[in-house]
Structure 1
Amino acid sequence: MDVVIAGAGPVGLMLACELGLAGIRPLVLERRAVARPDSPGMAINATTVELLDRRGLADRVRAGGLEWPQAHFAHLMLDPARLRERHASTVLVPQAHLESCLEARARELGAEIRRGHEVTGVRQDGSGVTVYAGGDELSCRYLVGCDGANSVVRRLAGISFPGVDAPFHGIVAEVDADGELMPYLGAHQYPGGVFTVGPSGPGLLRVSTGEFGVQGWDDEIPATVDEIEASIARLVGHDVRIGTPHWLARWHNVTRHAERYRAGRVFVAGDAAHVHFPLGGQALSTGVEDAVNLGWKLAADLAGRAPAGLLDSYHRERHPVGARACLTTRAQVALMHPLLEVSPLREVISELIGYDDVNEHLVRMAGGLDVTYAADDDRPLVGRRFGAVPLSTPDGVVSLAEVSRAGRGLLLDLSAHTAAGTDPGVLAAVSGWSGRIDVVVASPTTEIPADRLLLRPDGRVAWTGGRGDGVQGLKEALQTWFGDPAA
């Protein structure tokens, strides 16, 4: 087989969808025998929503969630409505629902998912990987570890995972909504840590506590109602009853980052590559974009049309993003504890958020919208991604997300060169990449300050050009990212 993915969480399932869209039928191995009933994650931020929208999945996910047009930095509220660019809103949605949507789509695209199969061994050579899991010996060309912070794949591949485990005790639970908890809706800071209460579904609340400087417990020791209620009492100063939870789980203040995202034919993504304090859906958005970045590159290699170095670009592009996510979440934690010492700083930053530029910078940072891949090309748009910009085409108004759902590259011509379509010279330039590149002609828009753009399958800009630029730069970008043209 071509690709084995370890882990059927959001990252592994998103990667399975990306590969399936390109005609690759991956095998997903999940150590749990059944889909997890709990949902530790509750928010998908703008980056994740936009990536799902590019694949036609956002509406499925939104159907089980709630739009939340807000953002925060260290629980200091921001205003996404003041952004100068169009971007999606955060959606509050249980992780179990997100995984269900992604699994259904992965199966539609031909992925096989085997539950109760934990990876126990990995051996690789120059031609492939042998994976031992669930008593089976499997041969594949590539293995991707999306198996979480305690990744077996990462360990067996010899990839180190340096970082810091800070003393911290966190518990999260889902409970039926009742009057005793309603006064605590929102995120609350106390000298000892944080206490949050928020809606997680019809008649349900998500309750979590996090105490800094306290030695935590191992995940193998089940959390109890008495334990979380004692934690609440220590934080708020009096007893608060939560009722009988549907489930409880532990969470941690751990920051770790893999030294490399590739070891030969083995890759890591999501929490297997980077783990940090859970704030604002940043962990999920970073992991899902890992999958979107890697998926089309693996597919190109397996089809025999990947240019030299394409697979190596996964580490080169995503490793700095993982490092940035670790940095920005640590910065937020530093603004939360010790509260008595950082309160004056929180007040000053709250004042600064009143300035549009500061608000925008923090919204983009917290939502993963500030990511731009470094490129040799010095054109300002190269390496960045646009949201669901509306496009006026000869066939009507569509969004940039809608014309990206095939998962191929996209040449977007906004030059209005002719009423009938794009410049014949440009069409001739891309003809050798037919089947790898779609061409869309639309009217100019102030939301995209360029006449023409070449977008990679992950939506990142690979090239921009004006009407008088010619096609040589376009051809070079096509060859750099999509390989040699067909004969």
Structure 2
Amino acid sequence: MGATVEAQVVVVGAGPVGLMLAGELRLGGVDVVLLERLPAPTTESRASTLHARTMEIFDQRGLLDALGPVPNDMRGHFGGIGLDFGGLDSRYPGLWKVPQARTERLLGDWATGLGAVVLRGHELVGLRQTESGVEVDAVGPEGAVRIRAAYLVGCDGEGSTVRRLAGFPFPGADATRELLRADVAGIDVPDRRFERHERGLAIAHRRPDGVTRVMVHEFGADAAPRTGDPEFAEVAATWARVTGEDIGAGEPIWLNAFGNARRLAERYRLGRVLLAGDAAHAQMPVGGQALNLGLQDAVNLGWKLAARMRGWAPPGLLDTYHDERHAVGSRVLGNIEAQATLLLGGPEVEPLRGVMAELFGHDEVVGRLAGMVSGLDVRYADDGAVPLLGSRVPHWELTTEDGPSSTTELLRTGHGVLLDLTAGLPPGTAAAWADRVRTVSAEGDTDVRAVLLRPDGHVAWVDDGTADPHAALQRWFGAPNP
């Protein structure tokens, strides 16, 4: 056996989800090593949309300045039917157009800047769980490497090696329909937004650099069994049959095919191995939800796994990762399946599309669907009895004893926050949790008296004038220090 590496947590996959998780773990004080099969960051930008909730999370971690200005489009869709995302209750309504490679660079710089170690060109070939942790075997540029860690998280995509080696059941259905996708230079075709033709669906968008992304689906065509990406000749031929246009003389930059496969891991955790992102759920990347779903998995898991490693996690905290995110994943897969029917169905779905388009004329319907697709409506609570409980905290501008601040800024350190907005909490209420929960007294434009915020920005407790935060502090942040 070659070199041996010790780590508290090993993450397999240094794409956006793995890097987001690594950064969250480092904020929590955990040593983390990432294994990545590719020798260098990918230049392919498969996912290009960040939704409002992800932008809020990036802001909570202070990442937006480094991201820089990005285009924003208020027009989205649901199953190819136009949907307005401009009315979302967020500082970041709309669809933010960020190539995946740019998102990956942002998160890579953040995670490694915090101390995460990325081992590129290392392929996972084996893993074993022991009573005290996991042993990981990998092959890298200089030979075999063994990593010993307390936990392992698979962020290695839809074909996850971690999921296979650890034995996670992955039920669902394979693709029956597919979209062919290609970035092509040297072609001149009209921009199209979900244009339905007699024989199929065509989408085209020319970027400022002159490269055109085309996507095409031929109605009634079954998903082809594939072991790799399609050839450009297949994409060009399908495009010609659907649109009547010849793009065969173009230069393909990147190609792939994606279908309406739908799978969800039965569990997101088996012992000391966990899954996040596309390793936990396979779905058609319609509406830009796949990447955002995975990033939000990582933010939910990171602080909980860090709490486990730091020794203060209350019983069952790590299991809430599965409980909360599996339910979200199931719901997202459901809305994507509905969209796939509307998008890839032939003439038989036109009556349904007509009814849906009529419903989209109602603000309540638009708000409900946009909130679902954007991730803003995610709520981790048993019921709706207490307003705000379990929801993401709104952005409140605050005045603290240190000056102007906001709920967003208070979450930058990755700690929990007990926010007292009326000076009504007894002094030292959370003093016994001071190593993991910041207590902040502030004034703000809200009727809320006090809230306890989890590190992921979700509300763990709301003061209704009678409640005591100590039960919530123990539930989410463990036993108090002596």
TM over 0.5: yes
Q: Return closer, same or farther for 1:89/1:169 CA change in 2, 3 Å cut-off.
A: closer
Residue 95 of structure 1 pairs with residue 95 of structure 2: no
Match of 1:12 among 8, 13, 18: 18
Structure 2 match to 1:437: 437
Deviation (angstroms), 1:192:
4.5
CA distance, structure 2, for counterparts of residue 224 and residue 166 of structure 1: 19
Matched residue, 2:3: none
Does the residue aligned with 1:278 lie in a helix, a strand or coil? coil
Map 1:167-246 → 2, pairs under 5 A: 167-176=176-185, 180-181=188-189, 183-200=190-207, 202-211=209-218, 213-217=220-224, 220-240=227-247, 243-246=250-253
- Residues 213-222 or 402-411, more deviating: 213-222
Kindly indicate whether the alpha-carbon contact (under 8 Å) linking 2:49 and 2:98 is maintained by their aligned counterparts in 1.
yes
Cα distance change on mapping 1:457 and 1:230 into 2, 3 Å: same
Q: Is residue 68 from structure 1 mapped to residue 73 from structure 2 by the alignment?
A: yes
The aligned residue for residue 469 of structure 1 is 466
CA distance in 2, matches of 1:2, 1:84: 38
- Aligned partners of 1:9, 1:320: CA distance in 2, in Å? 23
Per-residue CA shift, 1:433-475, capped at 9, x if unaligned?
11311233333434xx522111100111100003x326xx301
Q: Which amino acid aligns with 2:380?
A: Y
**Superposition CA RMSD, Å:** 2.1
2:54 to 48, 54, 67: 48
**Residue 340 of structure 1, aligned match among 325, 347, 352:** 347
Distance of 2:437 and 2:249 partners within structure 1: 54
The answer (yes or no) to whether the contact 1:49–1:88 under 8 Å persists in 2 is no
Q: What amino acid is the match of 1:4?
A: V
Q: Which amino acid aligns with 2:57?
A: L
| SS of equivalent to 2:417 | strand
Which of 288, 313, 322 is residue 281 of structure 1 equivalent to?
288
Is 453-462 or 216-225 further displaced after alignment?
Answer: 216-225
Q: 2:473 aligns with which of 448, 469, 478?
A: 478
What's the counterpart of residue 453 of structure 1?
A: 451
> Taking every aligned residue pair, what percent have the same amino acid on both sides?
44
Superposed displacement of residue 388, structure 1: 3.5
Please give the alpha-carbon distance, in whole angstroms, between the structure 2 residues aligned to 1:169 and 1:377. 39
For normalisation by structure 2, the TM-score amounts to 0.92
- Describe the superposition over 1:15-41 as per-residue Cα deviations: whole angstroms up to 9, x where unpaired: 001011112121000111221121111
- Secondary structure (helix, strand or coil) at the match of 1:120 reads strand
Structure 2: unaligned runs, 5 residues or longer: 1-6
CA shift at 1:205, angstroms?
A: 3.0
Q: Secondary structure at the match of 1:132?
A: strand
Verify: 1:364 aligned to 2:362, yes or no.
Answer: no
Tell me whether 386-395 or 247-256 shows the greater mean CA deviation. 386-395
Question: Shift of residue 291 of structure 1?
Answer: 0.4
Aligned equivalent of 1:30, options 18, 32, 36:
36
CA distance in structure 1 between the aligned counterparts of 2:445 and 2:346, rounded to whole angstroms: 46
Amino acid at match of 2:119: R
Q: Offset at 1:177?
A: 6.9
Number of equivalences: 472
SS of equivalent to 1:410: strand
Cα 1:285–1:221 change in 2 (3 A) is closer
Return the alpha-carbon distance in structure 2 between the equivalents of residues 58 and 205 of structure 1.
27
Cα distance in 2 for partners of 1:14, 1:191 equals: 43
8 A Cα contact 1:40 1:172, kept in partner: no
Q: 1:104 to 1:85 in 2, by over 3 A?
A: closer
* Matching of residue 406 in structure 1 with residue 417 in structure 2: no
- Structure 2 residue aligned with 1:328, among 328, 335, 351? 335
Residue identity matched to 1:439: T
Take 2:305 and 2:240, find their aligned partners in 1: how far apart are those partners? Answer: 50
Among 363, 370, 381, the residue aligned to 1:374: 381
1:58 and 2:55 matched: no
Task: Describe the SS at the equivalent of 1:81.
Answer: coil
Structure 2 equivalent of residue 133 of structure 1? 138
